[in-house]
Each structure stands twice: as C-alpha cells, then as structure tokens.
C-alpha cells in the first residue's frame, strides 16, 4: 500500500450557512423545535423563511466541509467532494473552501436546483436551530467522484446527512468501495437522529459488513442508532462492529472505544457559549487530524474537544483562531 498524499478526503453536503439571531418566540411562531434541524423542501420555502429572518451572516458550511476546514487549519492536507450549482452561492462555497486550503474540484451543476443553504437561527443561549435546503447537493452523481483522489487519502470521511437522497448515496457507496480496495480507513458521522430513523438498517449493514472504521456520534445519535435509552449500552452494542467508536457528550466531554478499551476526556472550558453550530464537525476535525498524524486516542480526543470549544465561542462553523497554535498548547 502506497503512502497517501492526503490526510482526509470527505464527501458531504456543499452548503452555505446563513446565520441570524432570534428568540424562542420566533421559533415557536414558525413551529420549529429549538436546537433541532429540519429540512426545507423548496426554494420558495427557503426564500420565505430567509425573508422573515433578521440580518444574516453568510459563511460556507456543510458538516463534512466544516470538518475539512478545521483539518486544513490544523495543517492537514485534505480535499472535498460535493455538489454546488452554477450560481452565486455556488461560487461563494467554492471560493471559501479553497481559500482555507481544501482542494475542491467537483464541477458545478449547470441546471436544476440552486446551491444548498442552511438557515440557522441562534437564540441568546447559543443554541442553533437549523433549516436546511439541500438543493444541488442532493444531486452528486457517482461519476463526479475522483477515484484516484479517494484512493490517495488516509481517511475517507462521509456524512450521514448526504445518505438521504439516492444519487449521492450511490456515490458514497462507490467511494467506500474505492477506499476499501486501496486499503484506506473510512470514517462516518451519523449526523442527526432524523437521518438515523430513515436509514438505521442501512447504517447497520455498513457496520456489520466491516465497512466503517471510525464512527462519530453524539449521545442522542448513538442511542438512536442502537434503539437503546442508555449511552453506555449503545456504545457496547456497536463497539465490536466498528474499530473505533467516538461519542461526544456535550459538557461531559467525549469518549472513544477501541479494542474493548475506553478512553475519555473532559470538555474544554469555554467562557461563553455563543453558537453551537459545527461543534461536532470541528471535534471530528481535531480527532481525525490527530489520528492521521499517528497520535493516540487520548490526544486525539483532547484535540477534538479543544477544536469544538473554539467553534462554540463564536458565530459560525469555521475556526476564527490559529488552530495550529491552539493544538500546540495542549
């Protein structure tokens, strides 16, 4: 097996986040569940909600893309595969991800839905309520994959959010096969409970088939995956199927299980939680970067926790401090 040129290649939703402050009354008025993510199914509905929001900040996002931005900021070499449209938001996304040092070569889609966006409403307690219009990202075809690129990365990282539509799901299955044949590791983030409810059996078929090496989930997601009401029982149910199970536990920190051994770290201190958007994404960035550099699980969890703490201290899911310097203090 040849030495890979890239640390991580990720496949995910190519989205532009639009963040605005709000209050609980607005969420109730719009029928939203605070802290949750719901899908918006049409451009008209996305435009209508955008018109009701307060002043917004546009920041390129998408779960896996956020993770790669964090890895690049830490000094890792990575690339992103995802679908945008040939429109203004597509140009914004491409510019932003390339500007932070992530390779992005997927051709823009010339026709069809506009580039996806996530309308994020942030309440004074820092909780974010997301309304996602997936748009063009739903139409990533298997023929858009750069198979040589996937085979040239230590890790293939895929997000559960993109498992919902049929076309990108087929693309991710093809990518998994390419990575497996090249002897690379495959990391998977469960993404959200609603995704798990739709595709639980499919995800378990991946675990049972030995197709996933690293599973990322938060407490609610791991319990939803295993249909248990206890996080420890949930971890026990999957730890023999996946080489490394990583679970974030909010203010209680994070843990990982590998080979029957459990590792845990506390949460990093934060003066004020401003916006929890991207906390899990940046945790995965720190963890995967450390693993790609050959660090042990405790060091990998610690860097993940530090990156998550940085991201929740400000608006948006892209780092605003020098993550290399932050890592050097740990």
CATH class of 6-13+62-112+135-328: alpha beta
For the chain, the domains span 6-13+62-112+135-328
Q: How high is the pLDDT of residue 316?
A: 72
Q: Which two tokens stand for residue 214?
A: 């690293």
The 10s digit of each residue's pLDDT in 53-93 is 999 888 888 999 999 999 999 999 999 999 999 999 999 99
Answer with the residue of higher pLDDT: 222 or 138: 222
Q: Which two tokens stand for residue 154?
A: 């230590």
Rounded average pLDDT over 42-46: 89
What values do phi and psi take at 104, rounded to 5? -145, 110
Answer with the residue of higher pLDDT: 319 or 294: 294
Q: At what angle do helices 231-238 and 219-226 cross, to 10 degrees?
A: 60
Q: 256 — alpha (psi -120 to 50), left (phi > 0) or beta?
A: beta
Tell me the residue ranges of DSSP E strands in 56-152. Answer: 57-61, 78-81, 103-104, 116-122, 128-133
The secondary structure element, H or E, covering residue 311 is: helix 297-311
Chain-wide mean pLDDT for the chain? 93
Rounded average pLDDT over 27-56: 91
Residue 27 pLDDT more than 90? yes
Give the count of beta carbons closer than 10 Å to the beta carbon of residue 124.
Answer: 10
Rg of the chain on CA atoms, in Å: 18
Q: 316 — alpha (psi -120 to 50), left (phi > 0) or beta?
A: left
- Residues 89-116: b if buried by 16+ CB within 10 A, e if exposed: bbebbbebbeebebbbebebbeeebbbb
CA 286 vs CA 68, 80, 97, 121, 257: distances in Å: 10, 17, 18, 26, 17
Q: Rounded to an integer, what distance in angstroms lies between the CA atom of residue 69 and that of residue 4?
A: 19
């Amino acid at each position: 097996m040849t030495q890979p040129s890239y640390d991580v290649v990720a496949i995910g939703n190519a989205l532009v986040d639009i963040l605005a402050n709000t209050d609980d009354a607005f969420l109730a008025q719009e029928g939203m569940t605070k802290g949750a993510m719901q899908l918006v199914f049409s451009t008209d509905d996305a435009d209508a909600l955008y018109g009701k929001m307060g002043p917004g900040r546009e920041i390129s996002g998408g779960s896996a893309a956020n993770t790669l931005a964090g890895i690049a900021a830490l000094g890792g070499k990575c690339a992103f595969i995802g679908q945008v449209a040939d429109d203004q938001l597509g140009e914004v996304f491409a510019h932003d991800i390339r500007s932070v040092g992530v390779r992005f070569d997927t051709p823009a889609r010339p026709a069809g839905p506009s580039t996806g966006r996530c309308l994020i409403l942030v309440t004074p307690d820092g909780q974010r309520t997301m309304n996602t219009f997936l748009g063009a990202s739903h139409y990533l075809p298997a023929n858009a994959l750069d198979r040589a690129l996937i085979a040239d990365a230590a890790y293939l990282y895929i997000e559960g959010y993109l498992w919902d539509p049929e076309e990108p799901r087929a693309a991710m299955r093809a990518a998994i096969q390419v990575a497996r044949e090249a002897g690379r590791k495959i990391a998977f983030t469960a993404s959200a409970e609603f995704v798990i409810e739709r595709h639980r059996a499919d995800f378990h078929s991946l675990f049972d088939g030995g197709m996933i090496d690293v599973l990322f989930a938060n407490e609610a997601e791991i319990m939803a995956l295993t249909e248990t009401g206890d996080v420890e029982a949930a971890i026990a149910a999957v730890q023999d199927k996946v080489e490394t199970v990583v679970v974030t536990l909010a203010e209680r920190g994070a843990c990982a299980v590998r080979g029957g051994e459990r590792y845990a770290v506390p949460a990093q201190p934060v003066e004020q939680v401003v916006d929890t958007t991207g906390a899990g994404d940046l945790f995965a960035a720190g963890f995967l970067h450390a693993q790609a550099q050959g660090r042990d699980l405790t060091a990998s969890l610690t860097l993940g926790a530090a990156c998550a703490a940085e991201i929740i201290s400000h608006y948006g899911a892209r780092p605003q401090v020098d993550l290399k310097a932050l890592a050097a203090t740990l």
